[in-house]
């Protein structure tokens, strides 16, 4: 279980202090999938980076299974079982997909095991295992490989930052299936997904709405979702395509 | 074959992946003398009589045979210039493994200047692998100045892998290639310098015939206080295609100078150059740290992948 207690985070914006996260408290319980949604610029990605340790809170505490991890480094948190899938996956010249999966697994993963992780994110393993994780891969392919690295870690807490960002509708349909399966195998772990997508919100156990850096709403899916339908916090993928000029906001 | 000691054996593994006497033709040069040599029916290795070095003659049509000519130096203060000439017959398809390992524990400089000339016959295919490696704690420098000249006849194909990852203090590498019609050259260079090392690599590739092509790609890492210069020039004299790429990572106080050069003397020549120098992207390190590596481990992974 991961707990955020009165977490705040601010940056220096041209001499002025700007608070991006303001006194946020909620927890991601074991065996639960929590989706964090809300308008753009509401602080969602910052929250994910605070959990992974990439940013440090200016106030408040982050606890994992009761242990204070606020001052722990990215590496220490990763070793404790926190996984983080970047919104924009990083490219590496020279490292191939198998290298990355092996680093993620922390052991000399067999090709067969690596293939299983790739298959579970809908990639034909044979075509990808030896591919360099560079600009030759499409946004959707990179995104799936990014998710596969988090799967290969077998995390206690997995955080996915807008898995739908930058991928096409076809890939998105498949991604929903990946997360549905993740939810089924959640046992003894917890998942946090940052997303605006209605179909991801539909598989959540709990929904947190972050607006202007504060928790606007938090509760079980069935309680929160009705407030979100038709707003920018719960986009229907097809309506984005049909609304002329719609940018999904 | 002379019996080798532990250091000599280690150097052979580093430069030529040789754990035992190689199959096929070979010459192992140890401290300026031959420690073992074998010719085969199709590949003849003979010592030169006027200067130090070998003549390697590969019969036309020779297929899937190997030549190993590694050099090992373990005596401090040795300085040598060696001329090796390769004559590769028409239609042959061979692998040539060279490379030099210097272990210098003394205070005097050790230096090996290998001058390799390749005369590649029509339609022949050559893969050339050259690794340079230095070790030893002595104050004496380990110096390697290889010169490689390649003369490719029509429709021949040469792939060269040049690797220098560790321990060579000073290197000035000169590579020159001249290609006739339909000939193809691919060069993959991997270079890492550290400490106060200096490395200069100069390429001149002349594409003289229609349909000739060259692809010269260098990936380099300069760490600590080391310095590198990569100077690659492709000259297009016909309807040809040339591409050169220098992709470098700098760390600490490393310095790299990339000097791209393209010269088109024919309106049908198509020449492309790419060069990029920069430090390791912070987000790459962050990503690997989220997978459980420390910052130092992440850096090592990124570099070893980059130089793969």
User: What is the distance between the alpha carbons of residues B18 and B2, in angstroms, rounded to a whole number?
Assistant: 15
Contacts of A48 in chain B (CB under 8 A): none
Percentage of chain A exceeding pLDDT 90: 55
A4 vs A196: CA distance, rounded Å: 21
Q: Is B1 within a domain?
A: no
pLDDT at residue number A159: 96
Give percent above pLDDT 70 in chain B.
100
How many distinct structural domains can be found in chain B? 1
Give Dmax (Cα) for chain B: 61
Structural contact between residues A198 and A235, judged by C-beta atoms closer than 8 angstroms: yes
Distance CA A229, CA A223 (A): 12
- CATH homologous superfamily of A2-217 equals P-loop containing nucleotide triphosphate hydrolases (3.40.50.300)
Among the partner residues B281, B286, B308, nearest to A94 by beta-carbon distance: B308
Instruction: Encode pLDDT of B49-98 as tens digits.
Output: 999 999 999 999 999 999 999 988 888 888 889 999 999 999 999 999 99
**pLDDT of amino acid A214:** 94
DSSP secondary structure string for all residues of B48-80: -SSSSEEEEEE-TT-EEEEEE--EEE-STT-EE
Q: How far apart are CA A162 and CA B79, in angstroms?
A: 61
Which structural domain, as residue segments, surrounds residue B144? 6-306
CB B230 within 8 A of CB B257: yes
Asked if A153 lies within 8 A of B308 by C-beta distance, the reply is: no
- Substitution target in A69, A74, A155 with the highest count of B β-carbons within 10 Å is A74
- pLDDT over 50 at A249, yes or no: no
More confident residue, A185 or B182: B182
Q: What is the pLDDT of residues B205-260, one digit of tens each?
A: 999 999 999 999 999 999 999 999 999 999 999 999 999 999 999 999 999 999 98
- Residue in chain B closest to A154 (alpha carbons) equals B291
Residue B162 bridge partners (DSSP): B130, B189
Average pLDDT (B155-184) is: 93
Q: How confident is the model at residue A239 (pLDDT cuts 50, 70, 90)?
A: low
Q: How far is A243 from chain B (nearest CA, A)?
A: 35
The reply to whether B276 falls in a domain is yes
Contact residues on chain A for B288, CB-CB shorter than 8 A: 103
CB atoms B287 and A86 under 8 Å: yes
Average pLDDT over residues B115-138: 92
Q: What is the pLDDT of residue B109?
A: 87
The whole-number pLDDT of residue A61 equals 96
Average pLDDT over residues B277-301: 94
Looking at every residue in chain B, the average pLDDT score rounds to 92
Hey, are the CB atoms on A54 and B305 less than 8 Å from each other? no
Tokens (6 digits) for B116:
């390799």
Q: Is pLDDT above 50 for A102?
A: yes
Write down the pLDDT at residue A242: 52
Quote the pLDDT of residue B261. 93
Question: Min CA distance, A219 vs chain B (Å)?
Answer: 29
HEC profile for chain A?
CEEEEEEEEEEEECCEEEEEEEEEEEEECCCCEEEEECCCCCCHHHHHHHHHCCCCCCEEEEEECCEECCCCCHHHHHHHCEEEECCCCCCCCCCEHHHHHHHHHCCCCCHHHHHHHHHHCCCCHHHHCCCECCCCCCHHHHHHHHHHHHHHHCCCEEEEECCCCCCCHHHHHHHHHHHHHHHHCCCCCEEEEECCEHHHHCCCCEEEEEECCEEEEEEEHHHHHHHHCCCCCCECHHHHHHCCCCCCC
Q: Considering only the beta carbons, identify the residue of A54, A79, A90 that sits closest to B284.
A: A90
pLDDT band per the 50, 70, 90 thresholds, residue B147: very high
Give the predicted TM-score (pTM) of the model. 0.83
Residue B25 CA to residue B96 CA, distance in Å, equals 10
A69-73, A235-239, B198-202, B286-290: least confidently modelled range: A235-239
CA angle A173, A178, A182 (to 5 degrees): 145
Which residues from chain A sit within 8 angstroms of residue B281, using beta carbons?
Answer: 90
Q: How many CB atoms lie within 10 A of CB A204?
A: 25
Q: Is residue B53 part of a domain?
A: yes
Rounded to whole angstroms, how far apart are CA atoms B10 and B19? 9
Compute CA distances A181 → A125, A128, A164, B273, whole Å.
18, 21, 16, 47
* Residue-level pLDDT at A244: 43
Asked, for residue B62, whether it belongs to a domain, the answer is yes
Give which of A54, A55, A92 to mutate to test B binding, by max B Cβ within 10 Å: A92
Q: How far apart are CA B95 and CA A148, in angstroms?
A: 38
Query: Which of A78, A79, A94 has the CB atom closest to B305's CB atom?
Result: A94
How far, CA to CA in Å, does A54 sit from each of A74, B4, B169, B291? Answer: 6, 52, 38, 12
> What pLDDT, on the 0 to 100 scale, is given for residue A241?
53
Residue B278 has pLDDT above 90, yes or no: yes
State the average pLDDT for chain A.
88
Dist. CA B55–CA B302, nearest whole Å: 41
Give the pLDDT of residue A128: 87
Provide, as residue numbers in chain B, all residues whose Cβ is less than 8 Å from the Cβ of A79: 292
Q: In the prediction, which pLDDT does A240 show?
A: 54
Residues of A with CB under 8 A from a CB of B: 52, 54, 73-75, 78-79, 82-84, 86, 89-90, 92-96, 99-100, 103-104, 106, 149, 153
Residue A237 has what pLDDT?
64
State residue A213's pLDDT score.
93
- Number of C-beta neighbours around residue A35 at 10 A: 28
Q: What is the pLDDT of residues A54-97, one digit of tens each?
A: 999 999 999 999 999 999 999 999 999 999 999 999 999 889 99
Sketch the domain layout of chain A as residue ranges: 2-217
Q: What would you report as the CA-atom Rg of chain B, rounded to the nearest whole angstrom?
A: 20
Residue A238: band (very low, low, confident or very high) from pLDDT cuts 50, 70, 90: low
Determine the average pLDDT of the residues in A154-183. Answer: 85
Chain B residue closest in CA terms to A53: B290
For residue B22, name the pLDDT band (cuts at 50, 70, 90).
confident
Cβ distance A149 to B291 less than 8 Å, yes or no, reads yes
With a pLDDT cut of 90, the percent of chain B lying above it is 69
Tokens at B142, concatenated: 């380990």
Please give, rounded to a whole number of angstroms, the shortest distance from the CA of A210 to a CA of chain B. 24
């Amino acid at each position: 279980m991961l707990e955020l207690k009165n977490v705040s985070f601010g940056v220096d914006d041209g001499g002025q202090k700007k608070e991006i996260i303001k006194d946020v408290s909620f927890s991601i319980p074991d065996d639960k999938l929590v989706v964090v949604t809300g308008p753009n610029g509401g602080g969602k990605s910052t929250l994910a980076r605070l959990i992974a340790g990439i940013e440090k809170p200016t106030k408040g505490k982050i606890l994992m299974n009761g242990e204070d991890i606020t001052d722990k480094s990215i590496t220490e948190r990763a070793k404790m079982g926190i996984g983080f899938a970047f919104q924009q996956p990083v490219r590496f010249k020279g490292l191939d997909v198998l290298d990355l999966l092996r680093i993620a697994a922390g052991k000399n993963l067999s090709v067969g095991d690596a293939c299983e992780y790739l298959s579970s994110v809908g990639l034909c393993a044979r075509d990808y295992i030896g591919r360099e994780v560079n600009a030759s891969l499409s946004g959707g392919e990179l995104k799936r490989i990014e998710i596969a690295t988090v799967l290969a870690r077998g995390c206690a807490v997995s955080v996915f930052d807008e898995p739908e960002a930058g991928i096409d509708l076809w890939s998105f349909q498949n991604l929903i299936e990946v997360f549905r399966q993740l939810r089924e195998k959640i046992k003894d772990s917890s998942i946090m997904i940052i997303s605006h997508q209605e179909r991801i919100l539909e598989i959540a156990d709990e929904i947190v709405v972050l607006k202007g850096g504060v928790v606007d709403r938090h509760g079980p899916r069935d309680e929160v979702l009705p407030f979100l339908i038709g707003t920018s916090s719960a986009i229907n993928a097809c309506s984005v395509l049909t609304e002329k000029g719609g940018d999904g906001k | 074959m002379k019996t080798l000691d532990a250091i000599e054996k280690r150097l052979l593994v580093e430069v030529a992946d040789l754990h035992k006497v190689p199959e096929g033709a070979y010459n192992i040069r140890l401290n300026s003398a031959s420690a073992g040599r074998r010719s085969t029916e199709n590949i003849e290795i003979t010592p030169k009589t006027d200067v130090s070095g070998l003549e390697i003659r590969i019969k036309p049509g020779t297929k899937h045979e190997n030549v190993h000519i590694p050099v090992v130096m373990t005596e401090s203060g040795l300085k040598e210039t060696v001329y090796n000439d390769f004559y590769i017959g028409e239609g042959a398809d061979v692998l040539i493994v060279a490379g030099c390992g210097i272990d210098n524990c003394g205070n005097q400089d050790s230096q090996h200047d290998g001058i390799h000339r390749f005369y590649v016959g029509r339609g022949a295919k050559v893969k050339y692998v050259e690794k340079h490696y230095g070790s030893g704690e002595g104050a004496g420098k380990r110096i390697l100045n290889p010169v490689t000249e390649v003369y490719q006849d029509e429709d021949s194909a040469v792939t060269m892998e040049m690797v220098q990852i560790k321990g060579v203090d000073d290197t000035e590498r000169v590579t020159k290639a001249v290609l006739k019609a339909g000939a193809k050259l691919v060069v993959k260079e991997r270079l890492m310098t550290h400490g106060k090392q200096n490395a200069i690599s100069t390429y001149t590739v002349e594409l003289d015939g229609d349909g000739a092509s060259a692809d010269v790609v260098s990936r380099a890492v300069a760490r600590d206080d080391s310095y590198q210069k990569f100077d690659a020039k492709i000259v297009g004299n016909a309807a040809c295609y040339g591409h050169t790429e220098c992709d470098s990572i700098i760390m600490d106080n490393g310095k790299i100078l990339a000097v791209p050069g393209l010269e088109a003397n024919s309106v049908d020549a198509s020449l492309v150059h790419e060069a990029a120098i920069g430090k390791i992207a912070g987000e790459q390190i962050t990503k690997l740290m989220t997978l459980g590596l420390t910052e130092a481990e992440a850096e090592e992974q990124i570099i070893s992948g980059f130089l793969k």
